[in-house]
C-alpha cells in the first residue's frame, strides 16, 4: 500500500478553499443513511460528533469515562492559539502557519498546518458563541497573551483552565445533539477492535465496562479521536486512563503508525517522590517567565537550597542560552534539566529535579505580585509537595506531556485504511516533531469542528459502501479475537500485577527512548521490551472474570498493547538518525550539544506498517516538501 | 505511616454492600490519597481479594472523576481539594479512615466507591448549552462581554461536575451543580435567547432524576473542590421563578 498525502495542487494558501469546493457533497436527504462512529469525546471527538450530527449523519460516540466531559483535553491549562490579530501586533494566518512549521522543526506537512492556521479564527468565533467564558478586557473584547515564546499575542485563554472550558463547550454541543436524538452516546465503553470489510473500516468491537458485554457496532466510516500514547512512559502528565489501545488495535488491522518517536517532554512538572508515584502533574510553563532555573555547581551538593550561596549556583539556562535564558523552548529546557541530573547535580531526595527559584522575582516585584500571577500554581505545588514556594525554590523535572506521532492520515484526515479517520492527538499530522504551546487545543477543535465534517462527506460520496449488518463474518472474527485475548489474560493467573509491568515498561522507555536516545539505548530497550512482554504473558495476574466491572482486566489489555506499541516507537527512533524537535538522538548533535537535523535524508514522515508482534515493522516514507517556509536551523543562543 | 481503612464494599448495584477493614502499611506522607489506595489495592490483589473499585482519571483535580466520602466529608478534610489532590500528610500515623461512595438516590452505586452520575449528563442535555450550530457564529468580538460579567460567568463555569455537592447535602440536592451551569450561561449575552426555557427544563430534569430540594444549609459550597458559590442557587431560583411565571413555554 502506498501512502499519498492527497494535498491539493496549487498555492498552499488556496489549498483548503479549493479542496472544499472540489470535494463531493452528500445529498442532505442521504446523510441520515450514513451512520458514523466516533471513538473518544475529547475536544476532537466531541466537536466532530456534534458537528457531524448537526449535518444530519446519525452518530454513535464512545468514551471510556463515565461522561464525555471527563476526557483529558480538560486538563490543558495555557490557552488556544488563533490568528485573529485582535492585538494588531502583526499576526496573520501566514505567520501562525510559519511559526507552527518552524516550531515543528520542519517535520510537518505544510498544507495541513496552513489549514490549521486558517480555521483557527473560526474556532474562537464558535467557542465564544457557545458561551466559553474566555478572558476579556474591560471593554468587552477578548483578551490575549503571548505564550510559549511567541512574539505576538495570539493566545486566547480562560484563566488557567482553557482546556476545561473548551471541552465543556464541545460537551455542551454534544449534549444538545444527544438530547435531539442525533448522537447516541456510549459512556464507560472501551473500543477493543476495528472491523474492516472489503478493505474499508466498517465498525468496532467494544466492551461495556459496567456489564462486561462485548458489543458490535457497524457504520459507514469510523473516526478515532482517542488521544496520545504518553502513558507508554507510565509516568506522564496524561490522565491515568489515557492509552494507546484504540489506535494500536487499528494499527494491527493495517493502519500505519506515523512518527511514534516524536514525544514532547514538558519541563515544569512536579518531580517524582517515590515508587508509589502514579502520575506527574504539570504546572504552566508561564512560571518560567519569572522563575530562574538552577542547580548547585558541585555534583552531590545536598545542602538545602537556601543554604547554597549565590556563587555556588549554576543558572545553567541563562549561562547556555543568554538570548532566551529561562524561556528557551520546552525541548531544550527539558533536555538541559536531564543533563544536569545525569551529571549528579540534580536536587531533592531523588536527585531527579532542578530548582525553579522565585526569590529574585519576589524581591523585585513583591510577594503580592507573584501571588497575583501564579497564586493558583503555587497553591497546587504546595498541596502536592507540602513545601512553600514563596520561601524555598520549587523543584521541577520534565515529564512526557504530549505525543506528536499518531496514526498516519492524509490531508483529509483519513488513514491508509479507507473509511478510518483519525483526529486530534491520535493522528500525527500538524505538529511535526515538536508542538508549540497552545496548539493542541487548536488542532483538536480544528479537526473536529471544521475539517472532518467536510472530508468525511467526500469519502461517503465518492466510495461504494455496501449495506451490511453486524452479522457479517468479519464481526464474528473480530469479536472472537477480542474474547480470546480476554480469556487468555484471565487464565494466566500469574503472580505479578498489571501495574508492575506497566511501571517497568515505563522505566525501560524512559531510559531507552526518553529525552535523549542513542542507538545503544534503543537496542537495549528493544531487548528488554520483548523480554518483559514474554514475562507479561506468563506471569500477569488478572483478578475476577469478564462479567461486570473489572478494572484489572481493562488495564491488562491496555498494558498488553503498550508492550507491543513500545517496540514501534523504538524502531522509529532508531531509524531516524537525526535529532529534531521532540526526538533527540545523542549521536546527532552539534559540538554545542544542540539538535542536528539531517534534511537530506530524513525530511520525511515515517509511517510504520505492523507485521506481527515482535516482528520488525515496515517503513513507508512520505517525503515532505517545504515550498513556503525555508528550511532553517532553530537557534536560541 | 500505618493506617486503618474502613471501606464500603459492594460488588454491584444489586448487592447489599458492607464495611470492610484493611490495613494500609508503610504509607508515605508524599503519596496522594489515591496512590495510597493503589498500594492497598496491589496488596489486596496479591492476597486474592478483588481490589477496591473507585473512579479516577486525570489525578490533577480537573476531570471531576474521583469521588469518595472520606471521614464523612466528600473529597476529605482539605478545603477546595479533590480526592486526587489530597495527600497523606493530611493524616497522622495510626489514623482510622472511613471511605464510602457518594450516597444519593440519583447516584446509584455501581461497585464499591464507583457510582453512576449519568443523571448529571441528563440535566445538561436538558438545556445546559447555547444552541448554536458549528459554522454559524459571528466574529467573537461582535458580542462584547464586560470583564466583570465574564469573570462571574467563569466563576460558575469552573464546576467540574464531580457531584460532591450532592454527596454533602442531607437532601442530596443538585442545586449547586445545576445553578452553576444556569448561572454561567445566564450571565453571558449569548445565553439570553434560551435563558427561560433552559432553567425550566434543567430544573424539571433535576427533579425527575430524584435529587432532593435545597434547604439552604450550604454544605454543598463547603464541600465543593472548586468553591462554586451558593449565590448561583439564588440566581437560579430568581430565574426559575420569573420563567415559571412569565414564560410562554
CATH of the domain at B62: 3.10.20.30
Same domain, A594 and A482: yes
Query: In B, which residues are within 8 Å of A399 by CB distance?
Result: none
Q: Are residues B10 and B99 in the same domain?
A: yes
- Give the three cell numbers for residue A185: 452516546
pLDDT surpasses 60 at A125: yes
Do A469 and A34 contact (CB within 8 A), yes or no? Answer: no
Q: For the residues A510-514, what does the mean pLDDT come to?
A: 97
CB contacts, 8 Å: B120 with chain A: 67
State yes or no: pLDDT of A380 exceeds 70.
yes
Contact with chain A for residue B216, Cβ under 8 A: no
Q: CB–CB of A430/A259 below 8 Å?
A: no
Nearest of A246, A567, A568 to residue A420 by alpha carbon = A246
CA distances from B62 to A299, A576, A583, B180 (A): 38, 37, 30, 16
Question: Could you list the residue range(s) of the whole structural domain that residue B99 is in?
Answer: 3-111
Kindly list the distances between the CA atom of residue B245 and the CA atoms of B66, B160, B200, B238, B249, in Å, as whole numbers in the listed order.
39, 31, 11, 11, 10
Q: Is B244 on the interface with A (CB under 8 A)?
A: no
Residue A238 CB partners (closer than 8 Å, separation 6+) = A72, A227, A228, A230, A231, A279, A400, A401
Query: What letter would DSSP give residue B173?
Result: B
Phi (first) and psi of residue B230, to 5 degrees: -70, -10
Same domain, residue pair B237 and B139 = yes
Q: How far is CA A82 from CA A65, A77, A437, in A?
A: 30, 16, 12
How many CA atoms does the CB half-sphere of A557 hold within 13 Å? 26
Contact list in A for residue B35 (CB cut-off 8 A) is 276-278
A392 and A500 in a single domain? The answer is no
The pLDDT value recorded for residue A147 is: 81
Cell triple for A352: 531527579
Same domain, A271 and A392: yes
Q: Decide if A118 is inside a domain.
A: no
Is the overall model pTM greater than 0.80, yes or no? Answer: yes
Could you tell me if A272 and A395 lie in one domain? yes
Who's near A127: CB < 8 A, 6+ residues apart? A80, A134, A166, A169, A445, B140
The reply to whether A330 belongs to the active site is yes
Do the domain assignments include residue A147? no
Q: Which among A129, A138, A185 is the nearest to B138, CB-wise?
A: A129
- Same structural domain for residues A393 and A286? yes
Domain boundary among B92, B111, B130: B111
Does the beta-carbon distance from A543 to B32 stay under 8 Å?
A: no
Residues A388 and A282 in one domain: yes
- Whether A272 maps to a domain, the answer reads yes
> Digits of tens for pLDDT over chain B (249 positions)?
999 999 999 999 999 999 999 999 999 999 999 999 999 999 999 899 999 999 999 999 999 999 999 999 999 999 999 999 999 999 999 999 999 999 999 999 999 999 999 999 999 999 999 999 999 999 999 999 999 999 999 999 999 999 999 999 999 999 999 999 999 999 999 999 999 999 999 999 999 999 999 999 999 999 999 999 999 999 999 999 999 999 776
Query: What CA–CA distance (Å, rounded) separates B158 from B181?
Result: 9
Contact between B137 and A74 using a beta-carbon 8 Å cutoff: no
**Mean pLDDT across A540-545:** 93
- A392 with A480, same domain: the answer is no
Whole-number mean pLDDT of chain A? 96
* pLDDT tens string A248-261: 999 999 999 999 99
Residue at which a domain ends, from A378, A401, A424:
A401
Residue A356 within a domain: yes
In degrees and rounded to multiples of 5, residue A437 shows phi and psi of -60, 145
Same domain (yes/no): B91, B145:
no
The answer to the question of residue A5 being in a domain is no
Is A396 in the same domain as A483?
no
Whether residue B100 is found in the same domain as residue B127: no
Residue (of B73, B92, B68, B62) closest to B8 by Cα position: B68
Q: Which of B61, B83, B111 is the last residue of a domain?
A: B111
All three cell numbers of A417, joined, read 485504511
- Pair A295, A383 in one domain: yes
pLDDT per residue over A254-304, tens digit each? Answer: 999 999 999 999 999 999 998 899 999 999 888 998 999 999 999 999 999
Q: So what's the pLDDT on residue A149?
A: 72
- Among residues A462, A464, A439, A442, the alpha carbon closest in space to that of A451 is found at A442
Choice between A594 and A140, residue whose per-residue pLDDT is larger: A140
Q: What is the CA radius of gyration of chain B?
A: 20
- A197: number of Cβ within 10 Å: 18
Per-residue pLDDT reduced to its tens digit, A16-64: 999 999 999 999 999 999 999 999 999 999 999 999 999 999 999 999 9
Write out the E strands in B144-219. Answer: none
Instruction: Read off the pLDDT of each residue in A378-392 and give the average, rounded to a whole number.
Output: 94
Domain containing A503 equals 475-604
Q: Do B121 and B70 belong to one domain?
A: no
The C-alpha cell that represents A370 in the structure block: 507573584
By the 8 A CB rule, do A319 and A626 touch? no
Question: CB contact, 8 Å: A545 with chain B?
Answer: no
Instruction: Check residue B249 and give its pLDDT.
Output: 63
- What span, in angstroms and rounded, lies between the C-alpha atoms of A539 and A500? 11
The arrangement of strands across the sheet holding A394-403 comes to A263-269, A394-403, A354-357, A292-296, A313-314
Predicted pLDDT of residue A78: 84
B228/B238 Cα distance (integer angstroms): 18
Binary contact (A164, B160; C-beta < 8 A): yes
| Nine-digit cell string for B102 | 457518594
Same domain assignment for residues B37 and B127: no
- How far is the C-alpha of B79 from the C-alpha of B225, rounded, in Å? 7
Q: Is residue A273 part of a domain?
A: yes
Chain-chain contact of B137 with A129 (C-beta, under 8 angstroms): yes
* Residue A24 forms part of a structural domain: no
State mean pLDDT over A412-427: 98
- Residue A430, pLDDT score: 96
Q: How many domains does chain B have?
A: 2
Claim to verify: residue B104 and residue B154 sit in the same structural domain:
no
Overall number of domains in chain A: 2
Residues with Cβ within 8 Å of B42's Cβ and at least 6 positions away in sequence, in order, are A497, A499, A500, B51
Q: The domain spanning residue B200 has which CATH number? A: 1.10.1060.10
Closest of A262, A272, A273, A398 to residue A337, by C-alpha: A398
Please list every residue in chain A whose beta carbon sits closer than 8 Å to the beta carbon of residue B24. none
Pairs of CB atoms within 8 A across A/B: 216
Counting every residue written for chain A, the total comes to 637
A47 touches chain B (CB under 8 A): yes
Do B220 and B138 reside in the same domain of the chain?
yes
CATH number, domain at A595?
1.20.58.100
Q: Does residue A1 surpass a pLDDT of 60?
A: no
CA distances from A240 to A151, A232, B56, B66 (A): 35, 11, 8, 12
* CATH code of the domain containing A282: 3.90.700.10
Alpha-carbon span A212 to A285, nearest angstrom = 41
Of A202, A207, A313, A330, which residue is the catalytic one? A330
Same structural domain for residues B168 and B96?
no
Most B CBs within 10 Å, among A120, A129, A211, to test the B interface? A129
| List of chain B residues whose C-beta atoms are within 8 Å of the C-beta of residue A274 | 28, 30-31
Same domain, B107 and B143: no
User: A65 CA to chain B: closest CA distance, Å?
Assistant: 8
Query: Domain check: are B124 and B141 in the same one?
Result: yes
Where do we find the cell 466529608? B73
Angle in degrees, CA B203, B204, B209, rounded to 5: 95
Same domain flag for B48 and B149: no
Amino acid at each position: 500500500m502506498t501512502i499519498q498525502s492527497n494535498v491539493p495542487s496549487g498555492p498552499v494558501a488556496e489549498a483548503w478553499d479549493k479542496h472544499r469546493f472540489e470535494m463531493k457533497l452528500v445529498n442532505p436527504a442521504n446523510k441520515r443513511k450514513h451512520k458514523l462512529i466516533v471513538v473518544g469525546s475529547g475536544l476532537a471527538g466531541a466537536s466532530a460528533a456534534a458537528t457531524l450530527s448537526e449535518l444530519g449523519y446519525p452518530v454513535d460516540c464512545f468514551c471510556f469515562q463515565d461522561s464525555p466531559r471527563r476526557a483529558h483535553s480538560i486538563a490543558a491549562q495555557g490557552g488556544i492559539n488563533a490568528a485573529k490579530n485582535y492585538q494588531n501586533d502583526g499576526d496573520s494566518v501566514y505567520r501562525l502557519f510559519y511559526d507552527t512549521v518552524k516550531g515543528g522543526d520542519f517535520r510537518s506537512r505544510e498544507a495541513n498546518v496552513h489549514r490549521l492556521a486558517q480555521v483557527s479564527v473560526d474556532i474562537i468565533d464558535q467557542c465564544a458563541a457557545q458561551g466559553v467564558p474566555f478572558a476579556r478586557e474591560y471593554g468587552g473584547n477578548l483578551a490575549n497573551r503571548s505564550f510559549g515564546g511567541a512574539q505576538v499575542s495570539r493566545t486566547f485563554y480562560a484563566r488557567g483552565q482553557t482546556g476545561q472550558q473548551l471541552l465543556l463547550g464541545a460537551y455542551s454541543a454534544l449534549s444538545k445533539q444527544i438530547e435531539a436524538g442525533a448522537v447516541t452516546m456510549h459512556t464507560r465503553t472501551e473500543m477493543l477492535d476495528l472491523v474492516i470489510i472489503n478493505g474499508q473500516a466498517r465498525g468496532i468491537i467494544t466492551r461495556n465496562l459496567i456489564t462486561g458485554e462485548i458489543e458490535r457496532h457497524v457504520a459507514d466510516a469510523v473516526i478515532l479521536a482517542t488521544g496520545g500514547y504518553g502513558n507508554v512512559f507510565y509516568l506522564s502528565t496524561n490522565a491515568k486512563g489515557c492509552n494507546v489501545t484504540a489506535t494500536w488495535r487499528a494499527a494491527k488491522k493495517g493502519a500505519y503508525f506515523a512518527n511514534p518517536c516524536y514525544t514532547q517532554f514538558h519541563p515544569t512538572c512536579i518531580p517524582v517522590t517515590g515508587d508509589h508515584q502514579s502520575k506527574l502533574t504539570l504546572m504552566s510553563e508561564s512560571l518560567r517567565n519569572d522563575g530562574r532555573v538552577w542547580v548547585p555547581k558541585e555534583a552531590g551538593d545536598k545542602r538545602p537550597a537556601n543554604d547554597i550561596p549565590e556563587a555556588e549556583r549554576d543558572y545553567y539556562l541563562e549561562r547556555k542560552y543568554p538570548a532566551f535564558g529561562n524561556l528557551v523552548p520546552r525541548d531544550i529546557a527539558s533536555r538541559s534539566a536531564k543533563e544536569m541530573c545525569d551529571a549528579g547535580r540534580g536536587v531533592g531526595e531523588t536527585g531527579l529535579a532542578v530548582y525553579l527559584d522565585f526569590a529574585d522575582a519576589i524581591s523585585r516585584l513583591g510577594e503580592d505580585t507573584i501571588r497575583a500571577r501564579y497564586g493558583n500554581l503555587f497553591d497546587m505545588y504546595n498541596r502536592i509537595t507540602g513545601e512553600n514556594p514563596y520561601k524555598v525554590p520549587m523543584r521541577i523535572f520534565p515529564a512526557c506531556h504530549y505525543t506528536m506521532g499518531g496514526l498516519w492520515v492524509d490531508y483529509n484526515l483519513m488513514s491508509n485504511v479507507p473509511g478510518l479517520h483519525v483526529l486530534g492527538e491520535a493522528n500525527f499530522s500538524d505538529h511535526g516533531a515538536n508542538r508549540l504551546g497552545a496548539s493542541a487545543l487548536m488542532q483538536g477543535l480544528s479537526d473536529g469542528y471544521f475539517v472532518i465534517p467536510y472530508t468525511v462527506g467526500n469519502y461517503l460520496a465518492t466510495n461504494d459502501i455496501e449495506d451490511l449488518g453486524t452479522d457479517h463474518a468479519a464481526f464474528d472474527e473480530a469479536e472472537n479475537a477480542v474474547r480470546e485475548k480476554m480469556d487468555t489474560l484471565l487464565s494466566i493467573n500469574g503472580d505479578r500485577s498489571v501495574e508492575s509491568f506497566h511501571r517497568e515498561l515505563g522505566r525501560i522507555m524512559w531510559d531507552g527512548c526518553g529525552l535523549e536516545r542513542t542507538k545503544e539505548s534503543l537496542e537495549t530497550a528493544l531487548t528488554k521490551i520483548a523480554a518483559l512482554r514474554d514475562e507479561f504473558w506468563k506471569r500477569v495476574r488478572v483478578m475476577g472474570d469478564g462479567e461486570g466491572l473489572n478494572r484489572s482486566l481493562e488495564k491488562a489489555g491496555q498494558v498488553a498493547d503498550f508492550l507491543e506499541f513500545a517496540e514501534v516507537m523504538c524502531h522509529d527512533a532508531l531509524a531516524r538518525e537525526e535529532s529534531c524537535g521532540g526526538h533527540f538522538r545523542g549521536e546527532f548533535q552539534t559540538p554545542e550539544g544542540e539538535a542536528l537535523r539531517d534534511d537530506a535524508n530524513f525530511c520525511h514522515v515515517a509511517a510504520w506498517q505492523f507485521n506481527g508482534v515482535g516482528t520488525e515493522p515496515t517503513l513507508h516514507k512520505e517525503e515532505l516538501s517545504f515550498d513556503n517556509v525555508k528550511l532553517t536551523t532553530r537557534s536560541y543562543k | 505511616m500505618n493506617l486503618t481503612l474502613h471501606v464500603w464494599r459492594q460488588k454491584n448495584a444489586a448487592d447489599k454492600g458492607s464495611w470492610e477493614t484493611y490495613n494500609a502499611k508503610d504509607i508515605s506522607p508524599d503519596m496522594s490519597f489515591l496512590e495510597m489506595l493503589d498500594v492497598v489495592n496491589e496488596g489486596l490483589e496479591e492476597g486474592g481479594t478483588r481490589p477496591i473499585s473507585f473512579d479516577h482519571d486525570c489525578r490533577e483535580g480537573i476531570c471531576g472523576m474521583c469521588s469518595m466520602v472520606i471521614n464523612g466529608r466528600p473529597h476529605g478534610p482539605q478545603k477546595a481539594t479533590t480526592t486526587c489532590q489530597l495527600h497523606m500528610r493530611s493524616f497522622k500515623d495510626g489514623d482510622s479512615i472511613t471511605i464510602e461512595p457518594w450516597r444519593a438516590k440519583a447516584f446509584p452505586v455501581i461497585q464499591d466507591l464507583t457510582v453512576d452520575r449519568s443523571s448529571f449528563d441528563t440535566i445538561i442535555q436538558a438545556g445546559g448549552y447555547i444552541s448554536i450550530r458549528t459554522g454559524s457564529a459571528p466574529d467573537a468580538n461582535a458580542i462584547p462581554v464586560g470583564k466583570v460579567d465574564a469573570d462571574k460567568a467563569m466563576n460558575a463555569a469552573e464546576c467540574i461536575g464531580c457531584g460532591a455537592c450532592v454527596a454533602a447535602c442531607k437532601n442530596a440536592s443538585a442545586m449547586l451543580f445545576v445553578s452553576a451551569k444556569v448561572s454561567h450561561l445566564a450571565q453571558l449575552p449569548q445565553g439570553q435567547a434560551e435563558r427561560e426555557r433552559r432553567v425550566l427544563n434543567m430544573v424539571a430534569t433535576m427533579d425527575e432524576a430524584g435529587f432532593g430540594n435545597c434547604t439552604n444549609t450550604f454544605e454543598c459550597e463547603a464541600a465543593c473542590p472548586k468553591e462554586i458559590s451558593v449565590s448561583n442557587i439564588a440566581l437560579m431560583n430568581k430565574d426559575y421563578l420569573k420563567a415559571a411565571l412569565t414564560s410562554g413555554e
